[in-house]
Structure 1
Amino acid sequence: MRTTGAKDAVSVLVVEDDETIGRHVAAGLRSHGYAVTWTRTGGSGLTEAARLPIDVVLLDLGLPDMDGIDVARQLRDEHSDVLILILTARSEEIDVIEGLDAGADDYLAKPFSMNVLLARLRAHLRRRPPTPVGPDEPIRIGDLTVDTAARRCHLGDREVDLRPKEFELLAVLARHPGEAVSRESLMAQVWDENWFGPTKTLDVTISSLRRRLETTASAARTPIALPAFTTLRGHGYRLDPPGPLDGD
């Protein structure tokens, strides 16, 4: 059974033969915006992983047709970038070690809560390196999306209303997450390449931009992974990807 999520949603393959657990996990992921494909055997899981663009695999070890450890090993061999989380009733240390050695990124013992699973997913996905984007493709850093083509900014599912210079400044910094950008470069790209006067306007715009994003994040119903503006005294600014949320 395949459930299609929203455009650009993270694609999750659930390989779980238990009907109750499978439906619960698929429904929970779907309600949080993930695109879900659910299969009940290791063989069908490998087939779906080869057929579809998959970002995450949630893999049960006790499958009816083959051992989940073998499925994890084959998935890792054939899909080096996929995030693999094992979900299983096997909780002995040797099983944990065997699963991780087979290529899994994390291990969650049954029974588990949906909130814990979602938190683990968010934490892992935030720590993965960003996918390079073309000049007109939306830039995503944590829960921040900057769409330069449409000149729109979103935090999670909320649109942030930015002034023109605020948006342009954010776009420049977002194109270089984690990198220092000098005051001179920011002034040249956002204001005027021949600007030789005071750059206080840059500080004011950064302050206003930070305030707008923080206000939007604080109004959200769920925790927001918000990038941080780091001031580099004597040089410029850096937009740092968000760290783990509380509870991750």
Structure 2
Amino acid sequence: MTHPDGSPIQVLVVDDEPALSDLVSMVLRYEGWNVTTAANGAAAIRQAAAGCPDVVVLDLMLPDMSGLDVLHELHRIRPELPVLLLTAKDSMEDRIAGLAAGGDDYVTKPFSVEEMILRLRALVKRSGRGVVDGSSQLVVGDLVLDEDSHEVTRAGEQIYLTATEFSVLRVLMHNPRRVLTKAQILHHVWEYDFDGRSNVVELYISYLRKKVDADRPPMIHTVRGVGYVIKPQ
């Protein structure tokens, strides 16, 4: 998704948890969006007033002021600005309060990064600020992944993947020839709290190799001590 003129969508991420802020920023940059961050409400208001974000990801629990107060101030400055709320509170009352205060949508922690991306895309599209990219296909060599249909082919032959295998391959194909660490892949595919899952990336890389590289020149490579990379032969 981009602006109608092809320029990147601008996102302001407001959260005081560095791990979560880094995760959200990384995922959105993988999507091709430009991201700025703020660790408290005052900084968020300053950045929204000085910059031109197309959408805001706002945590309701901030160290200096209520997220709802930040939301009110953002809408005073930019009444049309779409805001996606992040909250650790899952009660109906909290969700209603956020939406009643002007939030356009919400996700609760811990959340699926894929769900967050879909909700942000919907907000930006509804606001008229962005258009869906012309192609939903990622292509690396003879490997093709369609993000809309969730189909994968290599040299025209269909490859059947589980949802998690698809997500791991997708993040690799968004970054062809770029070495990604286990932590980067974990952050993008799984929830941001990934303690105890350090071996899960190795497991899914092995699954993908058996399907993507089976009886073919290998495309998924290990860079020892660093991570994994996908590149055409």
Taking structure 1 as the reference length, what is the TM-score of the superposition?
A: 0.52
Does the alignment pair 1:221 with 2:146? Answer: yes
Structure 2 match to 1:82: 81
**Structure 1 residues 141 and 114: alpha-carbon distance in aligned structure 2, compared to 1, 3 A threshold:** closer
Letter in 2 for 1:84: V
Measure the CA separation in 1 of the matches of 2:120 and 2:68.
20
Letter in 1 for 2:39: R
Query: Is contact 2:41–2:64 with CA below 8 Å preserved after alignment?
Result: yes
Deviation at 1:12, TM superposition (A): 0.4
Structure 2 match to 1:51: 50
Does the alignment pair 1:64 with 2:63? Answer: yes
**Structure 1 residues 38 and 157: alpha-carbon distance in aligned structure 2, compared to 1, 3 A threshold:** farther
Q: Kindly report which structure 2 residues correspond to 1:90-239, keeping only aligned pairs within 5 A, or say none.
A: 90-129=89-128, 141-144=131-134, 155=135, 221-223=146-148
Which secondary structure state, in structure 2, belongs to the residue aligned with residue 13 of structure 1?
Answer: strand
Deviation at 1:56, TM superposition (A): 0.6
Measure the CA separation in 1 of the matches of 2:120 and 2:80.
15
Letter in 2 for 1:221: D
Which secondary structure state, in structure 1, belongs to the residue aligned with residue 146 of structure 2?
Answer: coil
Letter in 2 for 1:75: L
**Structure 1 residues 141 and 14: alpha-carbon distance in aligned structure 2, compared to 1, 3 A threshold:** closer
Measure the CA separation in 2 of the matches of 1:84 and 1:123.
11
Deviation at 1:91, TM superposition (A): 1.5
Letter in 2 for 1:142: V
Deviation track 1:11-48 (CA, whole Å, cap 9, x = no partner) reads: 00000001111111111111111100011000000000
**Structure 1 residues 78 and 27: alpha-carbon distance in aligned structure 2, compared to 1, 3 A threshold:** same
Measure the CA separation in 2 of the matches of 1:142 and 1:21.
26
Query: Is contact 2:137–2:146 with CA below 8 Å preserved after alignment?
Result: no
Letter in 2 for 1:30: R
Letter in 2 for 1:97: I
Deviation at 1:10, TM superposition (A): 0.7
Aligned length: 140
Measure the CA separation in 1 of the matches of 2:136 and 2:11.
19
Q: Higher RCO, 1 or 2 (CA under 8 Å, sep at least 6)?
A: 2
Structure 1 match to 2:31: 32
> Cα RMSD (Å) of the superposition?
2.2
**Structure 1 residues 15 and 141: alpha-carbon distance in aligned structure 2, compared to 1, 3 A threshold:** closer
Taking structure 2 as the reference length, what is the TM-score of the superposition?
A: 0.55
Which secondary structure state, in structure 2, belongs to the residue aligned with residue 108 of structure 1?
Answer: strand
Letter in 1 for 2:132: G
Gap runs ≥5 in structure 2: 1-5, 139-143, 150-233
